Amino acid sequence: MVRETDLYLPVKEFLEARGYTVKSEVQNCDVVAVKDEEPIVVVELKLTFSMDLVLQGIQRRSITDDVYVAVRAPDTPAKHRSWRSRQRDYKKLCRMLGLGLMIVNPDLSRERNVNVLVDPGPYVPRKIKQQKTRLMLEFAKRTGDPNTGGANRTRIITAYRQDALRCAMALNRQGSLKVADIRAATGVEKAGSILQRNHYGWFERIGRGVYRLSEAGGESLASFRRILPEIDGKK
């Protein structure tokens, strides 16, 4: 059974091969490495990536900027799958906090048993303009604040759902309508696309460009009746 102490020797040898003098358990630091005038390197060891490990790394940054967190490489298929699914998030978190990340496999040869995934350094987030644009567009198009933070995503009231509900309300009042009449009654410019796609199954096409409310559409109006007064009428 692998223990945290089994990670120490591979990390020590890895740093010594790069010219560092290495000692363990110095002032509560698992690993401390010193090399001439270069910044001190501190490494915290844990078998798995955890919040405790991250917090330890953050605390060590009050000593030096060069702090690594080191974890045991996954050694079972299930652990490999779990690691692969989260590795990108772990690396991003470490970069955001200025921490380095090492993977240690004591079972491999000395040349291969430590893999540095992230080096410590200042984090410069890459802004994705398209994501910001989508966020601000949704924010501007959504009427009111119909959701509660932390709610199940399947029930999130988006601007698209609000427009679909406007179309449903118009059909509920009139029985059946042409797309142009729905657009005029609701102010929903993309009414035609919403009705044709019928993403929620709320509409039934009964003729060319003519729609009525489906049974599911009627149920949706009952389900979302709390927010209907806020979005009723033209946009």
- Percent of the chain past pLDDT 90, that is, above it, reads 73
Single pTM value for the model: 0.66
Closest by alpha carbon to 76, among 98, 45, 107, 101?
Answer: 107
CA distance 62 to 81: 34
Closest by alpha carbon to 63, among 96, 98, 36, 90?
Answer: 98
CA distance 69 to 207: 65
Domain regions of the chain by residue span: 4-118, 155-231
pLDDT (tens digit per residue) in 98-156: 999 999 988 766 667 899 999 998 877 777 889 889 999 999 999 998 888 876 666 78
pLDDT band (50, 70, 90) for residue 51: very high
Please state the rounded mean pLDDT for residues 163-183.
Answer: 95
Task: Work out whether strand 100-104 and strand 210-213 pair parallel, antiparallel, or are unpaired.
Answer: unpaired
pLDDT (tens digit per residue) in 74-90: 888 888 888 889 999 99
In this structure, whether the domain defined by 4-118 belongs to CATH 3.40.50 is answered with: yes
155-231, CATH topology level: Arc Repressor Mutant, subunit A (1.10.10)
- Say if CB 177 and CB 143 are below 8 A apart: no
Q: What is the pLDDT of residue 220?
A: 94
Please provide the average confidence, as pLDDT, over all residues in the chain. Answer: 91
Which string of b and e fits 154-178 if b means at least 16 CB within 10 Å? Answer: eeebebbbbbbbbbbbbbbeeeebe
